[in-house]
Amino acid sequence: MHTQNFMTALSKKNTLKNFNLLLFLVTLVWLVACEKDPTSIGLSLHDDTEIINGSTFDTITIKAFTISEDSLSTDERSLALLGSYTDPIFGYTEASFITQIKMASSNVSFGNNPIADSIIICLDYQSYYGDTTVPQTVEIYEIEKSIYLDSTYYSNFDITPYIPNQQLIGTLTFTPRPNDSCLIIKLSDTFAQKIISASSTDLLNNENFLKFFKGFYFKTIPNTSDGAILYFNLLSRRSKVTLYYRNANENKKYDFVFNNTCARINLFKHDYTTSQITSINDTTASDSLLYLQSMSGLNVKIHFPFIKEFAKKDLLAFVKAELIIPVYVDHYSNKYKAPNKLLLAALKSDGKYEFLPDYYIHPNYFGGSSNSNYTEYRFNITRFLQELAYTNRQDFGIVLFVSENRVSSNRVIIKGPKAHNGMRVSITYLKP
């Protein structure tokens, strides 16, 4: 009996040491084999009965609830998002953006007595999310306060002080055609005249030009049913502002550009008053369904309230701990598709995010991608749960959110821990 108790105590004392060695060996095998078929690596390295007297269970207690994202930094992102739609389940969503334009060269001259004919904006379609058969009306305003490339801006940016006089310089009602190369919007003749009348000082360099014209604000009139968010690549060569003018009876044009030195900000807005979501930021909620939405929308916070109980058990080490997240397929899933990938981050005591230790092994090992039919996501959180169970690491929660959430509009409903075959952790461990 004394020998058995001693061995049990010894196995607990050496849990992390044994686990780290085991994890290193499993990871080494995974990295060698990942080029063959990453999806087949993991528990399938052995049958469950072959993992040295290992056992697997998935009854660990999980507490999870839907939370709102306060804001995200959204300046200088790869895509500009524009549009609005009303989702019967998630409610109203809106995207707008601000951007500067610049001259393609210094010391620009339109010649003597130039006459403006027209000015247009071309925005390069990249993709979309939602229903593109529903018309959208875009409005473009001149901003009257400068934005700066070296400043950080957030998705809940207050546009009001930047357009005090509501200087509307362009509008267009259109049916999105994202398979076309560009969305073309004609701006007002008044704006064309402003640009053609710029002084030689205004056109000397881009520093002066940005004082003369500080930038555009793009928004759409709200769609109260369906609709879409459109993705534009402002850094494409097709995205530009073209001034057509005449000088000495000769037709000319000049292209202003969007480039990576232009300050750009994506702005997001959500209204859940018309949604079917019953609880947000309710830590006592026990909903069977949980909600994830990009564009600074909704995340899911997860806790493991009894994970420290593992320290009392005769376990040698976790071989694998996998967070399994099943998708709830709703009636609108074909229109509002689930994201390709989810992300998972740990909260620190100060409320800031950090990567889980499993992420540093290899992003593919960590997981998060959907399966082929978008019905499930999985994360390998072995090392994280091992630290929670056997060290003094505290459970401040981990947060699940949509990948690429600053440049996409995807949403998904997932089955929570209370649902049948809902969110769960499958743990394979070694017995002493």
Strands 376-380 and 367-370: antiparallel
191 plus 267 within the same structural domain: yes
Tokens in use for 411? Answer: 């949403």
**Is 295 a domain residue?**
no
SS3 letters across 158-224? CCHHHCCCCCEEEEEEECCCCCCCEEEEEECHHHHHHHHCCCCCCCCCHHHHHHHCCCEEEEECCCC
CA angle 320, 309, 422 (to 5 degrees): 55
114 plus 257 within the same structural domain: yes
Q: Which of 247, 271, 295 is the last residue of a domain?
A: 271
> Please, which residues have CB within 8 angstroms of residue 392's CB and are 6 or more apart in sequence?
none
35 plus 165 within the same structural domain: no
**Is 259 a domain residue?**
yes
Q: Give the residue-averaged pLDDT of 239-250.
A: 94
> Please, which residues have CB within 8 angstroms of residue 421's CB and are 6 or more apart in sequence?
326, 415
**Is 48 a domain residue?**
yes
Least-confidence region, from 192-201, 290-299, 419-428: 419-428
Q: Give the global pTM.
A: 0.86
142 plus 266 within the same structural domain: yes
**Is 74 a domain residue?**
no
Of all residues in the chain, what percent are helix, strand and coil, respectively (each to 5)?
20, 35, 45
234 plus 181 within the same structural domain: yes
Q: Give the residue-averaged pLDDT of 15-24.
A: 49
36 plus 93 within the same structural domain: no
Which residue segment(s) compose the domain that 367 sits in?
2-61+306-394+417-430
212 plus 350 within the same structural domain: no
166 plus 89 within the same structural domain: yes
Q: Give the residue-averaged pLDDT of 177-195.
A: 96
| pLDDT in the model for residue 55 | 67
pLDDT tens by residue, 372-404: 999 999 999 999 999 999 899 999 999 999 999
252 plus 327 within the same structural domain: no
pLDDT tens by residue, 338-372: 999 999 999 999 999 999 999 999 989 999 999 99
Q: Which of 225, 245, 271 is the last residue of a domain?
A: 271
Assign 42 a pLDDT band (cuts: 50, 70, 90). very low
pLDDT at 40 exceeding the cut of 80:
no
Q: Give the residue-averaged pLDDT of 264-278.
A: 96
Q: What is the C-alpha separation between 189 and 179, in angstroms, rounded?
A: 29
134 plus 264 within the same structural domain: yes
**Is 71 a domain residue?**
no
194 plus 98 within the same structural domain: yes
**Is 406 a domain residue?**
no
Assign 314 a pLDDT band (cuts: 50, 70, 90). confident
Q: What is the C-alpha separation between 172 and 169, in angstroms, rounded?
A: 11
